[in-house]
Amino acid sequence: MSRFLRVTVLGLILIAHAVVAHEHHDEVSDEEASKPVDTILWLHMFLQALVWGIMFPIGMVLGLTRSRWHVPLQATGYALTAGGYILGHAHKGRQFLPSAHGKFATILFVPITAQLVIGIYLKLHIHEKSIRPYFVVLHGVIGKLYPIFGWTQALFGVLAFKGYCQCLAHYIMGSGFIAYAVIMTIILVVGEQWVRRSGRSPEFFDSWVITAWTKVNTFTEHHGGAWSAKDMQHTILGVLWWTGGMLGVYLSRNNQRNVVPALILFLTGWGMSEHAQALMISTKVHAMFGHTLMLAGVTRTLEVCYFAPSYASDHTDDDTTSEHTLADGTNARNTSSVKAAASRSFRYLTPFLLTAAGLLFMSATDEELEYVQEIHMDHVTYILTVFSTAFLVYTFIVVLINLYTTTGRNASNSNSKVVGDGNIEMVTPGGRSKWYSRVPTQGGSVSGVRAHTQPTHVLGDDEEEEDMMAPQLRI
């Protein structure tokens, strides 16, 4: 382990040397800007994509589960990112003007160093009862920001590499849809117990985020002068989101489910599918983005109405999953089992569509589509390429969530299987960890306990805030 740390510290020193010694170009000639990309720069892009796009997110999850592989993986990532940083300052061939990508790379040196120093301090296990708990929290906060740092820097890298300058709004909103997909997947797959303890339905959080986000959008789309059709469309979408969000918040009281966020997605998709564009290919891509968002709204409605568990009181009069609502208890249990199985399959559809919609919107800028047109690619190939990327991105999201439920202190919770009647049966003894007790999908049970029974959440003395989300079913 000490070897990893020594290599990492040495790499950070080399980074600092590279920052000071590297000659930054305030002006780049057309000849320098048109030179081919050399091998060193390609290695830089590949290495940083590997570290920030794959290794650090996996390391973050392993840290949440207190896996013994967390420190080796993160230390390796630090060493590799140091090498990637140096490669980014040592390449020849094509040169770039100072950009947000380069400036943000220097800024990232601060959280990287802080995380490394705090990690070493925590490994010493000193000041246990005084300041160490605060550094544990700070270490967790910085670690959870790593995927956001990596995603942001990757987008800045695309902007610097291609020279795009009109992508910011598309990239921010598209990233927002993908973040929405991540949060929705976490809630639907492993977050049911946390949602129950919060006393709020998932739509409560959806609606508040929608309301807060788009109040800004309402007042920033018109920049003076005469109102254009695009100004009006963008502004009314902002008004739609915060007014609909307020209704969604109100309807979410008493933990009730509602379809207002889904309706907002559908209407937004319809509006974007009708958004006028200068290029035909841009019109096609925007239309597909809109249709994908509309489909996400439809599937979210179906999920809320027919497949999702209720977060209200477990003994309400309209509890249709109780065997007491039917004369034949066996038929009721079979119905619940079928519904639980459908729920487990259906819950991935809406987040995937949101991921695809986000990537489509990020890929629909004028500069990107002008390039696509120049290389004679049609809209069908381009859209299917984006969807292929969405499959890869969403696969990684689900893999990370599965990793959370099956590693470290959660490994014992993964020793279960879903049997024919929808119940969860332990495969190995000692399957319930001291940290968590699972909440089954509605209609099933854990170790023979009905889903309507609220499980006891057993906590350790040193539980931290990230422990609030318990694994539920194996993915």
Amino acid (1-letter code) at residue 434: K
* Res 273: pLDDT: 87
Of 289, 206, 300, 212, nearest to 249 by C-alpha is 206
Q: Is residue 302 within 8 Å of residue 280, measured between CB atoms?
A: no
pTM, full prediction = 0.76
Alpha helices in 303-439, H assignment, sequence order: 329-346, 349-362, 366-374, 379-406
Helices 132-162 + 39-50 axis angle, to 10: 140
- Same-domain status, 206 and 146: no
- Same-domain status, 210 and 109: no
Q: Is residue 464 part of a domain?
A: no
* Number of domains the chain is built from: 2
Structure tokens at 355: 């991921």
Q: Is residue 247 within 8 Å of residue 260, measured between CB atoms?
A: yes
* Res 327: pLDDT: 44
With the C-alpha atoms ordered 261, 264, 270, 273, is the resulting torsion angle positive or negative? negative
Distances (CA, A) of 218 to 235, 243, 303: 5, 11, 29
282-306 confidence digits (pLDDT tens): 899 999 999 999 999 999 999 888 8
Rounded to the nearest 5°, which phi and psi values hold at 426?
-70, 135
Q: Is residue 327 part of a domain?
A: no
3-state SS assignment for residue 364: coil
Span between the terminal Cα atoms of the chain, in Å: 32
Structure tokens at 200: 């709020």
Q: Is residue 316 within 8 Å of residue 322, measured between CB atoms?
A: no
- Same-domain status, 152 and 247: no
Q: Is residue 437 part of a domain?
A: no
Q: How far apart are CA 180 and CA 355, in angstroms?
A: 8
* Res 255: pLDDT: 81
8-state DSSP, 463: -
Q: Among the three residues 142, 163, 184, which one is the final residue of a domain in this structure? A: 163
- Same-domain status, 210 and 148: no
- Half-sphere exposure of residue 441: CA atoms within 13 angstroms, side-chain side: 27
Q: Identify the domain containing residue 43 by its residue range.
A: 1-163
Q: How far apart are CA 370 and CA 377, in angstroms?
A: 10
* Cα dihedral: 192, 194, 197, 198 (round 10): -110
3-state SS assignment for residue 425: strand
Strands 416-418 and 424-426: antiparallel
Enumerate the β-bridge partners of residue 418. Answer: 424
Q: Among the three residues 375, 392, 409, which one is the final residue of a domain in this structure? A: 392
- Same-domain status, 267 and 377: yes
- Same-domain status, 145 and 202: no
Q: Is residue 140 part of a domain?
A: yes
Q: Is residue 263 within 8 Å of residue 224, measured between CB atoms?
A: no
Amino acid (1-letter code) at residue 431: G
126-175 confidence digits (pLDDT tens): 998 899 999 999 999 999 999 999 999 998 888 877 766 666 778 888 89
- Same-domain status, 146 and 118: yes
- Same-domain status, 201 and 131: no
With the C-alpha atoms ordered 170, 150, 202, 473, is the resulting torsion angle positive or negative? positive
The residue to which tokens 């993908």 are assigned: 178
Intervals of the chain under pLDDT 70: 1-36, 91, 93-97, 163-167, 214-224, 308-342, 413-475
Hey, what long-range contacts does 460-464 have (CB within 8 A, 24 or more apart)?
460/434, 460/435, 463/435, 464/136, 464/137, 464/140
Q: How far apart are CA 111 and CA 116, in angstroms?
A: 8
Q: Among the three residues 368, 392, 416, which one is the final residue of a domain in this structure? A: 392
Q: Is residue 252 part of a domain?
A: yes
Q: Is residue 84 part of a domain?
A: yes
